[in-house]
């Protein structure tokens, strides 16, 4: 995950906590980005601001997002962070668009 604008790169999807300054810079550079969602407001804001992916650690929040995404026709994809691929059935039950392994995210803490 990145925490400052200077780390945005064109050759990768930048992941970060919701930060309007970083989002605006990513949009200005026409970069794809993902936001690690912390609360319900960030779901709507991140989708509206053009996040390609909404990433969730919290299964309840991911389920809520998948329900509202269906109703509001989100452009963002809903991804659940998982430790391993043994949670695929749970992701299916939550109706998220996919999973992402924590080990695949650079600088994930």
User: For residue 18, is it within any domain?
Assistant: yes
Q: Give residue 85's pLDDT.
A: 86
User: For residue 44, is it within any domain?
Assistant: yes
Domain of 41 in residue numbering reads as 5-104
Angle of helix 40-48 relative to helix 59-72, nearest 10 degrees, comes to 40
Q: Give residue 105's pLDDT.
A: 73
Tell me the pLDDT band of 38, cut-offs 50, 70 and 90: very high
Render pLDDT for 45-103 as a digit per residue (tens, 0 to 9): 999 999 999 999 999 999 999 999 988 889 999 999 998 888 788 889 999 999 998 88
The CATH number for 93's domain is: 3.20.20.70
User: For residue 109, is it within any domain?
Assistant: no
Number of folded domains that form the chain: 1
The rounded distance, in Å, linking the Cα atoms of 55 and 79 is: 5
- Does the global pTM surpass 0.75? yes
């Amino acid at each position: 995950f990145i925490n400052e604008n200077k780390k945005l790169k064109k050759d990768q999807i930048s992941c970060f906590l919701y930060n309007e300054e970083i989002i605006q810079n990513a949009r200005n550079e026409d970069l794809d980005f993902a936001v690690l969602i912390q609360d319900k407001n960030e779901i709507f804001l991140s989708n509206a601001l053009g996040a390609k992916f909404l990433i969730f650690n919290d299964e309840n929040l991911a389920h809520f997002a998948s329900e509202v995404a269906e109703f509001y026709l989100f452009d963002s994809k809903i991804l659940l962070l998982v430790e391993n691929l043994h949670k695929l059935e749970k992701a299916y039950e939550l109706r998220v668009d996919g999973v992402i392994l924590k080990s695949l995210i650079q600088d994930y803490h």
